[in-house]
Amino acid sequence: MRIMFVTHDGKESFVKYGLARNKLERVAGTQVARYEREDMCDSPANDSVGWRDPGFIHDGVMLGLKDGKRYYYQVGSDSSGWSTTYTFVSPAKDSSETIAFLFGDMGTATPYSTYARIQEESISTVKWISRDLEAIGDKPSLISHIGDISYARGYSWLWDNFFYQIQPVASKVPYMVCIGNHEYDWPLQPWKPDWSSMVYDKDGGGECGVPYSLRFHMPGNSSEPTGTRAPATRNLYYSFNMGVVHFVYLSTETNFLTGSKQYEFLKNDLESVNRTKTPYVVVQGHRPMYTTSHETRDYLFRERLREHLEPLLVKNNVTLALWAHVHRYERFCPLNNFTCGTLGIEGEKWEAYPVHLVIGMGGQDWQPIWQPLPDHLKDPIFPQPVRSLYRGGEFGYVRLVANRVKLTLSYVGNHDGEVHDAVEIMASGQVLNGIGRAAYKRKKNKHLLS
């Protein structure tokens, strides 16, 4: 289990850990890293308004953990003092159950007014996930935040505020991330093909992925040079097993086209999954392959994603494809090239196409519009096509619970902490309740006729 924390002076610090709160017998050292104002690529990150000293980032790994046990830990040193005692449950390698809480675009809320836009709803998202962590007790789980993480966008102190805010949950379970436009986009980013001039802009506030790369340390060793004095961009694509699920994380901000390093990673990774061990494969990335929101800026991007990566997802029977970036929840039918697969609900042969969802409802309050405009109420300019089964504007997160029989993904809303939508997928790949509106209508008509 990896622990990351920040000190103001970078002095030698440790992680003490053990199986009893008052017996932290084992000790892990930490690596120290930091970044400088000169590493930032644009304003406001590199000007006096945005820059604040980030301190020293410590990174330690607790080794030799027993499977599925509750551990206790403190960080610090005898000379500088120790933190309060935190606790987590270690992963169980052969567990037949997987629990995860997933969302994108959460951000942070400061307890003071600031000219930098903040995300008040992020407070509720963390609150309800805390409730769920309490409820699952001694079962291991993880949190997955798929891009647009702190929304610091060059205002450095918002990163500190973000980590302070997620500490109640991030100190208890692994906090897994992938990169979003608001961690990265900057004018001179090295991979910016012609078709992406509308896609990749200046959304990173000049951070060019540096705080993201150093403040998190995800599995694998994917990296791309920044082309500046800044350290390489890391945590781009990786995968791991947890219980019965194989989780894959992608970067939609760097090259994913056929033949790229990332494409080869995904292809090899998906082809080598042992589906007996992990019957479910969950692929995640920031910018969606499918959305029905008004997002004209990324239209060409989505085409490339479908052209290059969708065949890999379909061919390898990926269970779920989770995306964010659009600040709403949307669930699609099992999809292949805009077409819903057959579900086998009435005994016909079914097709195990990936179920795509957009889960960017973690907290950012800027919303693309789905509804008819107020002065065009009879003219739904963003109608819901049959492939889109549920669209929700409420903030929240999704809860994944999977065992050897089935995977259930539930959409929890922040206003009441209750489930508002769910999809169930069998270990075989069959989707149980992904019927589109047209199919519902057909069934309803049958019922009326009989």
Work out how close the CB of 148 gets to Fe ion at its nearest, in angstroms, rounded to a whole number: 4
User: Nearer Cβ to Fe ion, position 148 or 269?
Assistant: 148
- What angle separates helix 157-170 from helix 122-136, to the nearest 10 degrees? 20
Contact status, residue 140 vs residue 68, Cβ threshold 8 Å: yes
The CA-based diameter of the chain, rounded to the nearest angstrom, is 80
Work out how close the CB of 329 gets to Fe ion at its nearest, in angstroms, rounded to a whole number: 15
Within 181-220, the residues that bind Fe ion by CB under 5 A are 181
The residue range among 120-128, 290-298, 311-319, 323-331 that interacts with Fe ion, by the rule CB under 5 A, is: 323-331
Work out how close the CB of 317 gets to Fe ion at its nearest, in angstroms, rounded to a whole number: 28
Dihedral of the alpha carbons of 265, 270, 275, 281, in degrees to the nearest 10:
100
User: Nearer Cβ to Fe ion, position 112 or 366?
Assistant: 366
Work out how close the CB of 105 gets to Fe ion at its nearest, in angstroms, rounded to a whole number: 6
CA distance 370 to 291: 11
CA 192 → CA 196, 204, 252, 255, distances in Å?
6, 15, 12, 9
Within 121-180, the residues that bind Fe ion by CB under 5 A are 148, 180
Binding residue count for Fe ion, defined by CB under 5 A: 4
Please give the helix or strand (H or E) that residue 355 lies within, else none: strand 355-359
User: 203 is written with which tokens?
Assistant: 């959304």
User: Nearer Cβ to Fe ion, position 54 or 180?
Assistant: 180
Half-sphere exposure (CA, 13 Å, Cβ side) for 150? 27
The residue range among 166-174, 293-301, 321-329, 427-435 that interacts with Fe ion, by the rule CB under 5 A, is: 321-329
Work out how close the CB of 320 gets to Fe ion at its nearest, in angstroms, rounded to a whole number: 19
CA distance 171 to 157: 20
Within 66-95, the residues that bind Fe ion by CB under 5 A are none
Q: Is 202 exposed, middle or buried (0-12, 13-18, 19+ CB in 10 A)?
A: middle
User: Nearer Cβ to Fe ion, position 252 or 278?
Assistant: 252
User: Nearer Cβ to Fe ion, position 180 or 204?
Assistant: 180
User: Nearer Cβ to Fe ion, position 324 or 352?
Assistant: 324
CA distance 85 to 21: 7
Of 138, 107, 174, 15, the residue nearest 361 (C-alpha): 107
The 8-class DSSP code of residue 166 comes to H
User: 112 is written with which tokens?
Assistant: 């003071």
Work out how close the CB of 147 gets to Fe ion at its nearest, in angstroms, rounded to a whole number: 6
| 302 touches Fe ion by CB under 5 A | no
CA distance 253 to 146: 12
Within 215-254, the residues that bind Fe ion by CB under 5 A are none
Dihedral of the alpha carbons of 300, 221, 176, 34, in degrees to the nearest 10:
-100
Helix and strand numbers (H, E) in the chain are 8, 24
CA distance 443 to 450: 11
User: Nearer Cβ to Fe ion, position 27 or 198?
Assistant: 198
Q: Are strands 31-33 and 56-61 parallel, antiparallel or unpaired?
A: antiparallel
Binding residue for Fe ion, selected from 325, 331, 387, 391, defined by CB under 5 A: 325
User: Nearer Cβ to Fe ion, position 206 or 434?
Assistant: 206
User: Nearer Cβ to Fe ion, position 148 or 330?
Assistant: 148
Work out how close the CB of 312 gets to Fe ion at its nearest, in angstroms, rounded to a whole number: 23
In the shown chain, the binding pattern of residues 421 to 440 toward Fe ion, with x for contact by CB under 5 A and - for none, equals --------------------
The residue range among 12-20, 26-34, 89-97, 320-328 that interacts with Fe ion, by the rule CB under 5 A, is: 320-328
The residue range among 44-52, 220-228, 318-326, 339-347 that interacts with Fe ion, by the rule CB under 5 A, is: 318-326
User: Nearer Cβ to Fe ion, position 76 or 147?
Assistant: 147
Q: Are strands 175-178 and 142-146 parallel, antiparallel or unpaired?
A: parallel
Work out how close the CB of 299 gets to Fe ion at its nearest, in angstroms, rounded to a whole number: 15
User: 400 is written with which tokens?
Assistant: 């994944």
Cβ-proximal residue to Fe ion, closest one: 325
Of 228, 404, 239, the residue nearest 316 (C-alpha): 239
Work out how close the CB of 210 gets to Fe ion at its nearest, in angstroms, rounded to a whole number: 18
Work out how close the CB of 151 gets to Fe ion at its nearest, in angstroms, rounded to a whole number: 9
Work out how close the CB of 106 gets to Fe ion at its nearest, in angstroms, rounded to a whole number: 11
Binding site for Fe ion (CB under 5 A): 148, 180-181, 325
